[in-house]
Amino acid sequence: MRTLHQIKRSMLFAAIAALSAVSASAGAAYPEQAVKIIVGFPAGGATDVIARVLGAELSKIWDQTVVVENRTGAGGNIAAAYVAKANKDGYTLLMSSPAETVINPLLYPEMQYDAQKDLAPVSQAGSAPLLLVAHPSVPAKDARGLIDYIRKNSGKVSYASSGTGGPQHLAAELFKLMTNTKILHVPYKGGAPAITDLVGGQVQIFFAGLPPALPFVKSGKANALAVTTKSRSELAPEIPSLEESGLHGFDIQNWQGVFAPAGTPQTVINKISADIATALSSEAVRKTLAGQGISAAPSSPNDFKAFVDNERRKYADIIKAAHVSIN
């Protein structure tokens, strides 16, 4: 029969063994199983494209399956809420656009997650400028000419957007604020119908996605006036920036970045971030993204957090000054 001392000793050894097992598990190489990247928009869009290109490269680095899962709806909020409530282990990640983690929390009165508290920035992945385009009937060859035309036709010029509250809409509102001009907002359900109506002359200007707009520019169906980032785009270096055109500080970009559930171990976040940087350094990956109008833009978790915080301040200022609401 075992003595009390022997029983206590056995229990101690069992506890030590259990703690050792937990420690070994915590220190095991990540990832040990398939990783999911959640996207809040349909397949084929920029956020989905970069998730799939990055996921394919990460699967090679990790020697694990990386699955891209589209959970669409509510402007990306459904996907973000899903990741915010996922296990804090790094196996469920969000590929976010500005909407889910920056803009929507500033516009929606009720959210199922707190973007700042529930989601941890891991790394920026890509970025692209918007392209200010005009219908050929607008007699402007650059942004300065457009501003003069709008002032001479105050309240008569309309601009398209892919939906209220998106970067394209807010870029136009910032343009209005910085130029003190009046242009009419015509929201569409997506960028495709917006560019179609611009080409058809139903609206005069549009802050369009660069890749879908360039074919219309090359065919002469739309005129490219400026890109919305501070510097010119490598994909269209002949097009000046709005910064060059006199709108100093104008910087709107359509970016994508990876977030994990808040509380995910920092060692895991750091590894994912480092591996994203490795994946995006691949010449083949960069070339594939460039073909979709996306510039690879990896960053450390701290740098990405600082970037996102700055984006929140910028869009909060625009939304407040322009009185933007989703109602």
Assigned domain for 234 exists: no
Q: Which residues form the domain of 210?
A: 130-227
Residues 6+ apart with CB under 8 A from 108: 75, 77, 326
Whether residues 45 and 121 fall in one domain? yes
pLDDT of res. 235: 80
Whether residues 155 and 193 fall in one domain? yes
- Residue 131: beta bridge partners? 208, 227
Assigned domain for 18 exists: no
Residue 8: pLDDT band with limits 50, 70, 90: very low
Assigned domain for 97 exists: yes
Instruction: Report the domain count for the chain.
Output: 2
Rg of the chain over Cα atoms, rounded to whole angstroms, equals 24
Residues 224-245: what's their mean pLDDT?
92
Whether residues 261 and 117 fall in one domain? yes
Assigned domain for 236 exists: no
CATH of the domain at 196: 3.40.190.10
Assigned domain for 73 exists: yes
Assigned domain for 81 exists: yes
Q: pLDDT for 96-121, tens place per residue?
A: 999 999 999 999 989 999 999 999 99
Q: pLDDT for 122-160, tens place per residue?
A: 999 999 999 999 999 999 999 999 999 999 998 899 999
Residues 85-97: what's their mean pLDDT?
97
Q: Where are the alpha helices (DSSP H) in 63-141?
A: 77-84, 98, 104-107, 115-118
Assigned domain for 178 exists: yes
Angle in degrees, CA 261, 167, 183, rounded to 5: 155
Res 250 pLDDT > 50: yes
Whether residues 140 and 216 fall in one domain? yes
pLDDT of res. 39: 96
CATH of the domain at 105: 3.40.190.150
More confident residue, 112 or 292: 112
Q: Which of 127, 128, 141 is nearest to 224 (CA)?
A: 141
Whether residues 140 and 103 fall in one domain? no
pLDDT of res. 205: 97
Q: DSSP 3-state helix, strand, coil percentages of the chain (rounded to 5)? A: 45, 20, 35
pLDDT of res. 9: 42
Assigned domain for 200 exists: yes
Whether residues 57 and 87 fall in one domain? yes
Average of per-residue pLDDT values in the chain: 90
| Separation of alpha carbons 198 and 193, rounded Å | 9
* Dihedral over alpha carbons 246, 247, 249, 254 (to 10 degrees): -120
Whether residues 142 and 214 fall in one domain? yes
